[in-house]
A and B are shown apart, each in its own frame.
Chain A
Amino acid sequence: MAKMKVFNIGKGLSNGLEETISAAHNYSGDLRVDIIPIKRIDVDPDNPRDFLINMEDLQNGILPSDIHFTRKSQERENLETLAISIKEQGIINPIIVYKHGERYRLIAGERRTLASIIAGKTDIQAKILDTKPTELKISILQWIENIERSDLSLWERLKNLEKIVSVYTKNKNINPDELTSTMLCNLIGCSKPHALNYKSVLLADSLLQNLIQENKIKNLEKAAFLSNIKSPDTRQEAINACLAGANLKKLKMISTFASKKNQEKQNNPIQKRGRQSSSVTFGMTKNLNVARTIIDSILNNSSLKHISDHFKNTNWNDYKSISDAFKQLIKKLEEINI
């Protein structure tokens, strides 16, 4: 019977589709970018500030009577370089603000805002959130912004994720080890296998972590697979192979092979399955010369010279003809033996 045809949408593609839909659901409207007047931006009173200098100082000039005159002047000077680049190219990453009545409050980007004022700008590009976000929300927003970027290394993504996990587990009052992959996939809006991979890599030992940090291991799936190998020897072998450029399939082979070897060591004979064989299969070759050599060597045996006539008409350039000859030969040999 012919084999049943089964068509599946590949796993990678399925995961990708599911992730995209779930991410879009979870974060729609969270990354709205617009251009807003700098005049309407305030600093967040609850957020620790890095600067003493403020927007009024930049607009009106720092008064010599100001008790912080020296430090503020220094700060202004430090902002000059950024201001020049903003004058030429604008800001590259939008600042992040949230709506507070008719005005906006800064979450991130005070330096960029101050430097824009020096550069003579009146407007600035900003990501606008509807309400003040929690610490967890901010780190998750950074996360989704980052995963859209292709230039971010696995290590940078992991550090970002670690922060999310630590804030989340602190909020939930649980131990970071208790975080399940389901929690993780709900949190960052990815598929479960993807979350599982991240979880494995977060738990990786320091050797593996170092390799990721040095950007020698860049691929999440590989890193997760390596982290999951229990035996230290096998893991080392797989890591070496990975550094030498092995793909995931190869790594899986190394691990399977090693675990089989281990089983043998433990004197666990591998049990054969299925019925016992009652015949011999002689294998298969695509090399015509090999096939001819086999048949010729048998026929050259002095006791079998008399049957060689049967094979005179064999076409040694034709697979079918040689196969038939070999079957014929076996038949003849069986007859002789009887």
Chain B
Amino acid sequence: MAQIVVNATHKGGEGKTTNSIMLAEYVALILGLKTLIIDMDPQGNFSGRYIPMEYDPAYKGGRIPSLHPDFNPNEEGEWDGRSTIGNIFYGKEVIPYPTLIPNLEILPAHSSKLQEAEAVTKNEVLEKVHLQLKRFLELQEVQESYNVIIIDTPPSKGPLTIAAIKAATHMVIPSQMEQFSIEGIYGMLQLWKQESYAREKNKPINLIGILPNQIRDIKLHKQFLTGLRKMNGVGDYVMPHVIKKRAIYTEILVEEANPKSIFDLPKGNVARQEYESACSYIMERVLNG
């Protein structure tokens, strides 16, 4: 059965996308497992790291993936040559894109389609949006093609985030150790709680925990982290690893970056070691329970 990890928190800038990237590359490059990544964020940043994205001529500021490499314009058919995770909300077929990283495939974002799904408020439709990703990932074809699926979510508590949580087997909440961020954790825990209530006992949503991110050597961060770790019950869900604030984590996101992945750095590199041990902690729990 494919394990499905979602990175979620409704506050922006906490490191959802960065963490999705690191996890995806760790699983594909280091563990060598068949990996699918899904970009549920209409901003499409996650997608843009792995395949070329274009601006959507029909929707100002929106992004769509470039043409699929398997697309043959001379072939008869209804396919317009692009395939995104947004398609599942429109009952259309989805075809993952290959990436330059072996073992790693992606279902990219489609800004306007995802935004439309996110804006749904009508009850019957909402229920459909909530369950659509789960239904798609439960397809035998998908389950058999991948070992691990990693989902990046938009900074919201809306239908897309809920859909991702409903589809997931495991959940990670990246968070800075700051006031608004911790309020964000609270919001996400509510979604996790609701989902836990609603799950069958043998198919739980496992909260791997809160990943303290962008930690600086300042009193605020240290004391919030200690406070969180000491909290009754909550402490068990704060990961033992922390990610410090380092320039390298944003530098490798630049298009011409060399090396491209944190896992291309020498094994002894501090930043690589730091993220690798956090990823290994997460995947250990995802793969071995």
Question: What residues of chain B lie closer than 8 Å to A25, measured between beta carbons?
Answer: 233
Contact between B189 and A8 (Cβ–Cβ < 8 Å)? no
Contact B193 A24 (CB under 8 A): yes
Residue of A nearest to B210 (CB): A17
B139 CB → nearest A CB, Å? 19
* A33 touches B (CB below 8 Å): yes
Pair A29/B186 contact, Cβ less than 8 Å:
no
Tell me the bound Cα distance from A18 to B231 in angstroms.
Answer: 7
Tell me the bound Cα distance from A23 to B204 in angstroms: 15
Chain B residue, CB-CB nearest to A16: B186
Centre residue among A8, A24, A30 by max chain B CB count within 10 A: A24
Q: Is B227 an interface residue (CB 8 A)?
A: yes
CA A58 to CA B251, docked complex, whole Å: 69
User: In the bound complex, what is the Cα–Cα distance between A14 and B232 (angstroms)?
Assistant: 9
Residues B197 and A14 in contact, CB atoms below 8 Å apart: no
Q: Is the beta-carbon distance between B227 and A17 smaller than 8 angstroms? A: no
B186 with A20: CB separation less than 8 A: yes
A21 engages B201 (CB within 8 Å): no
Q: Are A33 and B219 in contact (CB under 8 A)?
A: no
Residues B189 and A9 in contact, CB atoms below 8 Å apart: no
B129 shortest CB reach to chain A, Å: 16
Closest A residue to B185 using CB positions: A17
Please, how many angstroms separate the alpha-carbon atoms of A20 and B186 in the complex?
8
A20 to B187, CA, bound (A): 10
Partner of B186, one of A17, A32, A148: A17
In the assembled complex, the CB of B186 is this many whole angstroms from the nearest CB of chain A, namely 5
Q: How many residues of B contact A (CB 8 A)?
A: 27
The answer to whether B201 and A14 have CB atoms under 8 Å apart is: no
B229-262 residues with Cβ-Cβ distance < 8 A to A are 231-234, 237
Interface SS majority for chain B: helix
Partner of A21, one of B182, B183, B227, B237: B237
Q: What residues of chain A lie closer than 8 Å to B215, measured between beta carbons?
A: none
* A7 at the B interface (CB under 8 A): yes
Residues of B within 8 Å of A130, CB to CB, are 201
Residues 1-46 (chain A) with a chain B CB within 8 angstroms: 5-9, 13-14, 16-18, 20-25, 27-33
Interface residue? B263 (CB, 8 A): no
Docked-complex contact A29 and B231, CB < 8 angstroms: no
A312–B204 Cα distance when bound, in Å, is 81
Which A residues are CB-close (under 8 A) to B115? none
Write the nearest CB–CB distance from A108 to chain B, whole angstroms: 17
Q: Considering the chains assembled together, what is the distance between the CA atoms of A33 and B186 in angstroms?
A: 24
Cα–Cα distance between A114 and B232 once the two chains are bound (Å): 46
Complex-state Cα separation, A144 to B193, whole angstroms? 11
Tell me whether B204 and A29 are in contact (CB under 8 A): yes
CA A189 – CA B189 in complex, angstroms? Answer: 15
Contact across chains for A22 and B233 when beta carbons are under 8 A apart: yes
Given contacts A29-B196, A30-B197, whether A18 and B204 have CB atoms under 8 Å apart is no
Are B233 and A18 within 8 A (Cβ)? yes
With both beta carbons as reference points, the residue of chain A lying nearest to B178 in the complex is identified as: A7
Bound complex: CA of A13 vs CA of B181, how far in Å? 12
CB neighbours (8 Å) of B228 from chain A are 9, 17
A9 partner residues in chain B, CB cutoff 8 A? 182, 224, 227-228, 231
Q: Does A18 lie within 8 Å of B219, measured CB to CB?
A: no
A21 nearest CB neighbor, chain B only: B233
Residues of B within 8 A of A7 (CB): 219-220, 223-224, 227
Q: Encode contact with B along A279-309: 1 for CB under 8 Å, 0 otherwise.
A: 0000000000000000000000000000000
Q: Is the CB of A13 within 8 A of B183?
A: yes
User: A19 to B223, alpha carbons, bound, how many Å?
Assistant: 21
Residues of A within 8 A of B223 (CB): 6-8
16 contacts between A and B (CB under 8 A): A5-B219, A6-B223, A9-B182, A13-B182, A17-B186, A18-B233, A20-B186, A21-B189, A22-B232, A24-B192, A27-B196, A28-B196, A28-B201, A29-B197, A144-B197, A148-B194
A7-B220, A7-B223 known; 16 other A-B pairs, CB under 8 Å?
A5-B219, A6-B223, A7-B219, A9-B228, A14-B231, A16-B186, A17-B186, A17-B231, A21-B237, A24-B189, A28-B199, A28-B201, A28-B204, A31-B198, A32-B197, A130-B201
- B residues bordering A, Cβ < 8 Å? 182-183, 185-186, 189-190, 192-194, 196-201, 204, 219-220, 223-224, 227-228, 231-234, 237
